[in-house]
């Protein structure tokens, strides 16, 4: 079989591709035919002999795989030949076969593809353990994620939103922050040009952040601890930026905060039952479509050293995945190409909304998503005005005293008031050069999923699902709008909006 080998410790360019003997399983182990293996930051450390675990030379890097069981060793009962599985192997994954202890192998459903399966456990397992078990993140708290466009960082952004937190994403470029925003980040910090502490102060109204998720360390650690709220929790996840920071412990005293280590591998070993519960919860999130890894790029086995090099150079947004079966290669546009298309080929106004040059460019955009709009607060004055205009004066909308005793505890907005804000939101997302006029004429399908209480902030994101020419030189657009309320990861409304542009 073919394998990428580390025969001497060093950088990725020292790795070699060689033909080696096929593997045979030892007791309590299985052999997996590897279909996909993701690249993770510890892989870049282990080949330099800088990681906690130090396998004997020669070895293959690659710690997270998905594939099909080829053989099982003695006393393996819960797995059989032919099972589709994912595994946390520690190393050995950049090869056509890998031997893994059976307790570190998990069956996957037929609905989950191998690329996704090879991309979820390390990043999402680490981040879920960090936020749930260590920080005990609560709905409504503020979470700051450093290195937010990296593998574990992007997982923390997505999980933080799912858990109901207000998420501040910090990364080193605007391009990286675009994907953080797409994953639901409420606020963005480009720490290559923004003042980290000033932005935190601005976004939290001076209160500070409740939880800091830090996989990068170095010079960013101390200013974040200085910007923590009372009784905050600082999660030490890794040191991808280089230096291990030396924190003045008087800051922990003054802030009443906790500095907490996150070592998911040890947690999985020492608290296996709790880890299994986390894995099952994550699997449910993925099967429901509530979480989805972003794939930066696919690499062949021969290109695996390049994947590690891209990780070390901080080029990777989300996940880099090594593919060992050509049928898994996605024929569609890669995430990198899609991002370049949105950033480079589609012009934007000074406010950040997309500026389409013509109808042809709109048609090319079909299937792609717009950004999120700004937050808009639905206040009582707005509700009263809508009730007056529509003659819909139900007490739950306008009688503040009576509404206190309702199940909501306060007045709620009309469902169609939420929908009526669509033109306002759409104007924040795009405009068309030289368009004479645009007509928003309603919605094709609407689902109101949750009520909007008074003084709730809402926003919308959208996806262009159809653009067809109509008589009189017009273009009909069908846009899927999804509306969210602040501090709530679930949509409040989903609608197919209809617009015609002339």
Write out pLDDT tens, residues 444-466: 788 888 899 999 999 998 888 88
Phi then psi dihedrals of residue 476, to 5 deg: -90, 130
Instruction: Assess contact for 432 and 450: CB atoms under 8 A.
Output: no
Whole-number percent of the chain with pLDDT over 70: 95
Predicted confidence (pLDDT) at residue 330 exceeds the cutoff of 70: no
Write out pLDDT tens, residues 164-221: 999 999 998 888 888 888 888 889 999 888 888 999 998 898 899 999 999 988 888 8
Beta strands in 113-236 (DSSP E): 142-145, 166-171, 187-190, 209-214, 228-236
Provide the 8-state DSSP code for 330.
-
Is residue 288 in a domain?
Answer: no
State the CATH number of the domain containing residue 375.
Answer: 3.10.129.10
Are 11 and 150 within one domain?
Answer: no
Q: Please, which pLDDT band fits residue 120 given cuts at 50, 70 and 90?
A: confident
Is residue 351 in a domain?
Answer: yes
Q: Please, which pLDDT band fits residue 348 given cuts at 50, 70 and 90?
A: confident
Query: CA-CA distance, 437 to 356, in Å (whole number)?
Result: 14
Is residue 332 in a domain?
Answer: no
CA-based nearest residue to 172, from 227, 219, 237, 110: 219
Are 215 and 308 within one domain?
Answer: no
Query: CA-CA distance, 294 to 155, in Å (whole number)?
Result: 9
Write out pLDDT tens, residues 260-281: 999 988 888 788 888 888 888 8
Predicted confidence (pLDDT) at residue 338 exceeds the cutoff of 50: no
State the CATH number of the domain containing residue 14.
Answer: 3.90.180.10
Query: CA-CA distance, 184 to 186, in Å (whole number)?
Result: 6
Is residue 55 in a domain?
Answer: yes
Query: Tokens 């090869």 — which residue?
Result: 95
State the CATH number of the domain containing residue 133.
Answer: 3.40.50.720
Is residue 426 in a domain?
Answer: yes
The average confidence (pLDDT) of the chain is 87
Q: Which residues pair with 98 in a beta bridge?
A: 32
Instruction: Assess contact for 241 and 217: CB atoms under 8 A.
Output: yes
Is residue 340 in a domain?
Answer: no
The pLDDT score that the predictor gives to residue 491 is 80
Q: Residue range 290-307: average pLDDT?
A: 88
Are 172 and 188 within one domain?
Answer: yes
Is residue 17 in a domain?
Answer: yes
Are 404 and 418 within one domain?
Answer: yes
Are 151 and 106 within one domain?
Answer: no
Q: Residue range 324-341: average pLDDT?
A: 49
Q: Residue range 340-346: average pLDDT?
A: 45
CA distances from 452 to 416, 419, 456 (A): 11, 11, 7
Provide the 8-state DSSP code for 69.
E
SS3 214: strand
Are 244 and 141 within one domain?
Answer: yes
Query: CA-CA distance, 334 to 87, in Å (whole number)?
Result: 25
Instruction: Assess contact for 3 and 20: CB atoms under 8 A.
Output: yes
Is residue 273 in a domain?
Answer: no
Write out pLDDT tens, residues 15-73: 999 999 999 999 889 999 999 999 988 899 999 998 888 999 999 999 999 999 999 98
Question: What domain count does the chain have?
Answer: 3
Provide the 8-state DSSP code for 47.
T
To the question of pTM greater than 0.85 for the whole model, the response is no
Query: CA-CA distance, 417 to 425, in Å (whole number)?
Result: 13
Top-confidence residue, 336 or 256: 256
Determine the structural domain holding residue 235 and report its residue range. Answer: 123-267
Q: Please, which pLDDT band fits residue 328 given cuts at 50, 70 and 90?
A: low
Are 102 and 132 within one domain?
Answer: no
The pLDDT score that the predictor gives to residue 141 is 92
Are 12 and 101 within one domain?
Answer: yes
Are 51 and 192 within one domain?
Answer: no
Are 169 and 66 within one domain?
Answer: no
**Contacts of range 160-163, beta carbons closer than 8 Å, 24 or more positions apart:** 160/131, 160/213, 161/185, 161/489, 162/285, 162/290, 162/291, 162/489, 163/131, 163/132, 163/137, 163/139, 163/489
Phi then psi dihedrals of residue 141, to 5 deg: -75, 165
Are 364 and 491 within one domain?
Answer: yes
Q: Residue range 160-164: average pLDDT?
A: 91
Write out pLDDT tens, residues 62-118: 999 999 999 998 888 888 898 999 998 889 999 999 999 988 888 887 777 888 889
Are 310 and 375 within one domain?
Answer: no
């Amino acid at each position: 079989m073919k394998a990428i080998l580390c025969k001497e410790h060093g950088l990725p360019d020292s790795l070699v591709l060689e033909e080696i003997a096929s593997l045979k399983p030892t007791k309590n182990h299985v052999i997996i035919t590897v279909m996909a293996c993701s690249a993770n930051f510890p892989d870049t450390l282990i080949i330099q002999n800088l990681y906690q675990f130090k396998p004997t030379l020669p070895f293959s890097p690659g710690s997270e795989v998905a594939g099909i069981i080829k053989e099982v060793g003695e006393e393996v009962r819960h797995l059989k030949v032919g099972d589709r599985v994912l595994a946390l192997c520690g190393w050995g994954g950049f090869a056509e076969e890998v031997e893994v202890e059976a307790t570190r192998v998990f069956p996957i459903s037929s609905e989950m593809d191998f690329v996704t399966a090879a991309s979820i456990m390390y990043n999402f397992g680490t981040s879920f353990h960090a936020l749930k078990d260590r920080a005990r993140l609560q709905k409504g708290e503020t979470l700051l994620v450093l290195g937010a466009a990296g593998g574990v960082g992007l997982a923390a952004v997505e999980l933080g939103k799912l858990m109901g937190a207000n998420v501040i994403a910090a990364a080193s470029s605007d391009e990286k922050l675009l994907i953080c925003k797409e994953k639901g980040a409420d606020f963005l910090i480009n720490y290559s040009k923004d003042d980290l502490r000033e932005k935190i102060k601005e976004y939290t109204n001076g209160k500070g952040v409740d939880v800091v998720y830090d996989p990068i360390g170095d010079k960013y650690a101390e200013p974040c601890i200085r910007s923590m709220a009372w009784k905050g929790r600082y999660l030490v996840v890794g040191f991808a930026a280089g230096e291990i920071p030396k924190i003045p412990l008087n800051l922990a005293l003054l802030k009443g905060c906790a500095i907490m280590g996150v070592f998911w591998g040890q947690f999985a070993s020492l608290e296996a039952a709790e880890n299994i519960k986390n894995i099952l919860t994550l699997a449910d999130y993925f099967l429901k479509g509530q979480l989805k890894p972003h794939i930066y790029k696919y690499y062949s086995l021969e290109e695996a050293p390049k994947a590690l090099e891209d990780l070390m150079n901080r080029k990777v947004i989300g996940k880099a995945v090594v593919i060992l079966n050509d049928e898994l290669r996605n024929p569609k546009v890669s995430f990198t190409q899609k991002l370049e298309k949105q950033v480079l080929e589609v012009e934007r106004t000074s406010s950040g909304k997309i500026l389409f040059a013509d109808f042809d460019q709109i048609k090319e955009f079909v299937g792609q998503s717009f950004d999120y709009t700004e937050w808009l607060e639905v206040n009582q004055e707005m509700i009263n005005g809508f009730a007056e205009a529509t003659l819909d004066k139900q007490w739950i909308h306008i009688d503040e005293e009576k509404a206190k005793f309702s199940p909501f505890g306060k007045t709620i907005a009309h469902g169609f008031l939420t929908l009526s804000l669509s033109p306002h939101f759409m104007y924040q997302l795009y405009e068309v050069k030289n368009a004479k006029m645009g007509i928003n004429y309603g919605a094709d399908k609407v689902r109101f999923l949750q009520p909007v209480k008074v003084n709730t902030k809402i926003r919308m994101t959208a996806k262009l699902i159809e653009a067809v020419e109509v008589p009189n030189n017009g273009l009909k657009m069908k846009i899927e709008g999804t509306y969210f309320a602040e501090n709530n990861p679930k949509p409040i409304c989903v609608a197919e909006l209809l617009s015609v542009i002339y």
